[in-house]
Amino acid sequence: MDKLLIQGNQSLSGSVKISGAKNSVLPMLCASVMSSKGSVELENVPHLHDVTTTTRLLTQMGVRVTMDEFMKISLDANDIHNLYAPYDLVKTMRSSILVLGPLLTRFGEAKVSLPGGCAIGMRPVDMHLEALEKMGAEIKVESGYIHAKSKRLKGANIIFATKSVTGTENIIMAATLADGTTKIENAANEPEIIDLCEFLKKMGAKISGHGTDTVEIEGVASLCGASHNPLPDRIEAGTFMVAAAITRGDIEINNIIPAHSQAVIDKLTEAGADITSMNNSVRVKMNKRPSAINIETNAYPHFPTDMQAQITALNTLAKGESFVKENIFENRFMHIQELQRMGAKITVKENIAHITGKDKLYGAPVMATDLRASASLILAGLAAEGITEIGRVYHIDRGYDCIEEKLQLIGARISRKPM
Active site amino acids: 118
Q: Is 102 in the site for ligand EPU (CB under 6 A)?
A: no
How many chain residues touch ligand EPU (CB under 6 A)? 26
Contact window for ligand EPU (CB under 6 A) among 143-151, 162-170, 174-182, 254-262: 162-170
Write the binding mask 204 to 243 for ligand EPU: x where contact by CB under 6 A, - elsewhere.
Answer: ----------------------------------------
Q: Which of 38, 86, 116, 121 binds ligand EPU (CB under 6 A)?
A: 121
Cβ closer to ligand EPU: 239 or 388?
239
* Per-residue CA distances from 99 to 110, 113, 236, 287, 388 (Å): 9, 11, 25, 47, 38
Geometric angle at alpha carbon 38, from 35 and 43, rounded to 5° = 85
Instruction: Mention every residue, 6+ apart, whose C-beta is less than 8 A from residue 181.
Output: 155, 216, 217, 218, 219
Q: What is the CB neighbour count within 10 angstroms for residue 356?
A: 15
The DSSP string of 314-362 is HHHTSBSEEEEE--S-TT--HHHHHHHHTT-EEEEETTEEEEE--S--B
Q: Which stretch binds ligand EPU (CB under 6 A): 40-48, 119-127, 276-284, 285-293?
A: 119-127
Per CB under 6 A, contacts with ligand EPU among 320-359 are: 328-329
Q: In what order do the strands lie in the sheet with 73-76?
A: 64-67, 73-76, 40-42, 227-228
Q: 105 or 329: whose CB is closer to ligand EPU? A: 329
Nearer to ligand EPU, 72 or 123 (CB): 123
CB nearer to ligand EPU: give 97 or 317: 97
26 touching ligand EPU, by CB under 6 A: yes
Residue 173 within binding range of ligand EPU, rule CB under 6 A = no
How near is the Cβ of 166 to ligand EPU at its closest, in Å?
3
What one-character-per-residue DSSP string does 178-231 give?
SBSEEEEES----HHHHHHHHHHHHTT-EEE-BTBS-EEEE--S-EE--EE-PP
Q: Which residues bind ligand EPU (CB under 6 A)?
A: 22-23, 26, 94-95, 121-128, 162, 164-167, 188, 305-306, 328-329, 371-372, 399
